Structure 1
Amino acid sequence: MSLAALLVLAGCGLGGRMSAQECMERAMYFESNRSSRDGMVAVGSVVMNRVQSGQYPRSVCGVVGQKNQFASGVLSRKMNDRSLPKVREAARSVLRGERHPLIGNAMFFHTAGYRFPYDNMQYVLTTGGNAFYERRKRHLVTRPVPPRPIEGITGR
């Protein structure tokens, strides 16, 4: 594992209480509605894009815990249902390097079906109940409307 990867995984959590694994699980659990592995990996890919961008905190927990960026209570609410083993496996896989093949450099998403009046949103994927996008200069946006959902792609 590279030094950069170790730094990303180290020091996560508020006061060091949570691991990168736990924070990634929480982002996937609360943001993808656990609807599909595809959606969870897409959320995890966005988290890792932010960690590696230099524009956001340099740890998974730092990114997930950033105010007003992820679901309210993402680091404190209870997670309890039968999907937890699937969430844990997807989080582990993303932390080991798996990325959704269609996410590219996207660092943003919102609930699928919502519309926003902004003209800088380049949509790359709709899956797991979310529409994923990159922010671009207006004249570089070629896909201003989210694509139809693609379910069943696992990224492998």
Structure 2
Amino acid sequence: MRMRILCLMLCLATILPMGSWALAAEEPAAGSYFLVDGNVCEDPGLTVYNGITYVSLVNAVLALRPDAIIGWEGEYVVVTAEGLDLRARVGDQYIQANGRCLYVLNGVIDGGGRVLVPVRTIAQALGGWVSWNQESGVVEVYSGESPIASGDSYYDSDSLYWLSRIINAESGNQPLDGKLAVGTVIMNRVDSPRFPNTIYDVIFAPNQFTPASSGSIYREPNAESVVAAKLILEGVRVGGSSLYFVNPSISPNSWAQRNRTYVTTIGAHAFFS
């Protein structure tokens, strides 16, 4: 009972003024709370957006990591604790945790002054996991032993190096989804028996990617190209089964347009399977 009240007080402390903790004694209404290791954590920010359950980042963090320090750096909410460095910004399609980038399909959203993130994503960042109690309709979150593994240990450095550079060279001026689609083409080729089976060999295969022959592949990638490469290495895919892309305004009537199946257009690029 003490643990339950403590969790509830920690959560409410982030949204209610001092002197309002007496409200914590009341049982929260269904749909306004989630469970953390079996303890109730009230969250007025809990909502379902485009089929994904969102919770208040602050409430979830304090419930899972009461030792966390939460502050702001410009537009970013920043969370620090032992073994944890997390950053999130409203509007971004990802959160950053220990040098990793975790995809947020619908983006980090503003819930009336609260920063809302998908419950599964914030649980993953903190090393936990989520289940859904179909009978009660309550989201159940379970804490893990440690936060998410660091980017230095998770990403293969060679793969990140070359993937971020080809994304930057081909789509550095494109929106994030355009960068992800280019990265998806690279990984689809790695997985295809028709192409080499490493990122480096796919990029430098003869007569495939202009930046590899022009030398622009060696330019330092911009920050979002590195983010896109990390998201691709996390398993994010945009553009389906695409194996080719072309900028129709630069290369009209290209070989891919004439010979391959059109998939989608993202930003300036058309993608083909």
TM range (shorter): 0.5 to 0.7
Shift of 1:99: 0.3
Which stretches of structure 1, 4 residues or more, deviate above 6 A after TM superposition?
Answer: none
Cα distance in 1 for partners of 2:204, 2:260 equals 24
Cα distance in 1 for partners of 2:199, 2:190 equals 6
TM-score normalized with structure 2 length: 0.38
Q: Secondary structure of the equivalent of 1:51?
A: helix
Partner amino acid, structure 2, of 1:84: N
Shift of 1:75: 8.8
Q: Secondary structure of the equivalent of 1:19?
A: helix
Contact 1:39 1:130 in 2 (8 A): yes
Give the aligned partner of residue 20 of structure 1.
159
Shift of 1:108: 0.8
Q: When the two structures are aligned, how many residues end up with a matched partner?
A: 115
Cα distance in 1 for partners of 2:244, 2:258 equals 14
Out of 72, 91, 95, the position equivalent to 2:233 is: 95
Cα distance in 2 for partners of 1:98, 1:64 equals 19
Q: 1:76 to 1:119 in 2, by over 3 A?
A: closer
Pairwise mapping of residues 1-150 of structure 1 onto structure 2 (< 5 A)? 19-73=158-212, 76-77=215-216, 78-80=218-220, 84-100=222-238, 103-113=239-249, 114-116=252-254, 119-134=258-273
Contact 2:166 2:211 in 1 (8 A): no
Q: Give the gaps of 5 or more residues in structure 2.
A: 1-154
The structure showing larger relative contact order (alpha-carbon pairs under 8 Å, at least 6 residues apart) is 1
Q: Tell me the alpha carbon deviations over residues 71-125 of structure 1, each in whole angstroms, 9 at most, x when there is no partner.
A: 2336943424xx711110110110110000xx22110111133223764321111
Q: Which has the larger radius of gyration?
A: 2
Cα distance in 2 for partners of 1:119, 1:29 equals 26
